[in-house]
Structure 1
């Protein structure tokens, strides 16, 4: 079981999951700009029951009990964001891990599904604040399942922009991990962000692809950015050719595509 970690550890973990079957190839896995919510990374650290290794042997409840009634839910109901129908994506969960979808808000409820990082989610509009380290929970729909996830692991993507010009000259690296390190270090000039590899890195047709969530503390509306990088691969290593950045928003997206 693992949690989001600093860049060096995230890169090492990503190298171990390269070419894993769950990391499906995508021309550009950056989400559609209309997709959605999240808690800032400065929130209390997640408990061990929220994120698990994808290879964990314990299965979620096959026949979940009846969901609790509204009056039996813990915490306090929260009105407003995210509203029903808001599309959400999972952030800060490494490519080889899963996020638990629970029957109710809180880790005391059974896990009814194990969600890989690329699972699309839709908010139902029911949100609960459990207080303190228990955090805020959103009820979401994931395929045919409806359950609860802690808000710190979901975000609303804002604008998707080509930011390749920011990397001039294009960095080169001998290994996949070094290329990811170079891109994140150039993107995060402060050195305070946490980087989590959520896709890849994979090499197909002499092209390296990876997707990295770079989560920066200190802003209650912008959680960070999801970087999708492409690099040419040859016998000498890798040369960056393209980077797109998707804003990760904690409180919604304005008409411009920027975080509200």
Structure 2
């Protein structure tokens, strides 16, 4: 299975998670009670299966008027692993009903670091909502696309790359660790310009702070940049490690894991 997490090098000095962010575009959590996880809590391990699930719907018991029509995309590959991305803890979770309809009983939830195996079936209803079958610890469930925000959902995770050198001189040291994380996220996201899709809705890349070092007793920040207007690369999960400097904080290491729409090739790149 493709791993959705990576471990970055430990900085020489501890990171200050208490500094407030600077800038108007994205607000980072300031109150520890608003952080994604309790301090010291462990993130999901590779191979952990989220709880929940229900008995699988037999093939002949789907009702097209309720469950939509059968469809097939890259998310019909039974047994492939996908992970949640593109949303913070307080924006989620991804709700998992027992059937591919919003009226069905909720049998599970997926947080921003959860990964699941695909059940191998998909449905699409008359509102153009698509549903993906997933496997949970006690059975099966269905995840609807677009239930949180643009760029959020289930994706395939590719290889992890060290891109420190690409941004080392793009972001100067700052007094605030969170301001530096914000600056890096905006550099990766690209120019601020309004993008609209064919229906006139907002489109294009957006970034989300997924976790800070204190959330899971780690040495790095996680930032998801999603919403790329590309049919292969959906976005990137950034792992940002900072180091103390005379001016406050500077970039120590920046890694990215590719977030893919259609699957991952043997070499770890997006299909």
Common topology (TM > 0.5): yes
Q: CA deviation at 1:135?
A: 1.9
Q: Which runs of 4+ in 1 moved over 6 A?
A: 62-66
CA contact (8 A) 1:93 1:196 kept: yes
1:91 aligns with 85
Residue of structure 2 aligned with 1:114, choices 109, 112, 124 = 109
CA contact (8 A) 1:87 1:121 kept: yes
Helix, strand or coil: the match of 2:183? helix
CA RMSD of aligned residues (A): 3.5
The structure richer in strand per residue is 1
Residue of structure 1 aligned with 2:214, choices 183, 187, 202 = 202
> Which stretch of the first structure deviates more once superposed, 72-81 or 161-170?
72-81
2:190 aligns with 189
Residue of structure 2 aligned with 1:123, choices 101, 118, 141 = 118
Provide the C-alpha distance between the structure 2 equivalents of 1:64 and 1:18, rounded to a whole number of angstroms: 31
Provide the C-alpha distance between the structure 1 equivalents of 2:175 and 2:86, rounded to a whole number of angstroms: 26
Alignment TM-score, normalising by the size of structure 2: 0.69
Structure 1, residues 150-182: CA drift from partner, whole Å, max 9, x if none? 245100011211111111225423334312211
1:138 aligns with 132
2:144 aligns with 150
Matched, 1:18 2:35: yes
Provide the C-alpha distance between the structure 2 equivalents of 1:143 and 1:14, rounded to a whole number of angstroms: 34
Q: CA deviation at 1:144?
A: 2.6
2:159 aligns with 159
2:150 aligns with none
Residues 1:171 and 1:102: Cα distance change in structure 2 (over 3 Å):
farther
Helix, strand or coil: the match of 1:123? strand
CA contact (8 A) 2:235 2:260 kept: yes
Provide the C-alpha distance between the structure 1 equivalents of 2:114 and 2:31, rounded to a whole number of angstroms: 21
Helix, strand or coil: the match of 2:249? strand
CA contact (8 A) 1:176 1:201 kept: no
Provide the C-alpha distance between the structure 2 equivalents of 1:151 and 1:19, rounded to a whole number of angstroms: 22
Q: CA deviation at 1:200?
A: 2.0
Q: How many residues align?
A: 222
Structure 1, residues 215-249: CA drift from partner, whole Å, max 9, x if none? 13321221111111111247963221111111111
Helix, strand or coil: the match of 1:179? helix
Structure 2 unpaired stretches of 5+: 1-22, 147-152, 193-203
Matched, 1:245 2:249: no
Specify the structure having the higher radius of gyration (Cα): 2
Q: CA deviation at 1:80?
A: 4.3
Residues 1:105 and 1:165: Cα distance change in structure 2 (over 3 Å):
same
Provide the C-alpha distance between the structure 1 equivalents of 2:215 and 2:248, rounded to a whole number of angstroms: 11
Structure 1 unpaired stretches of 5+: 1-6, 35-59
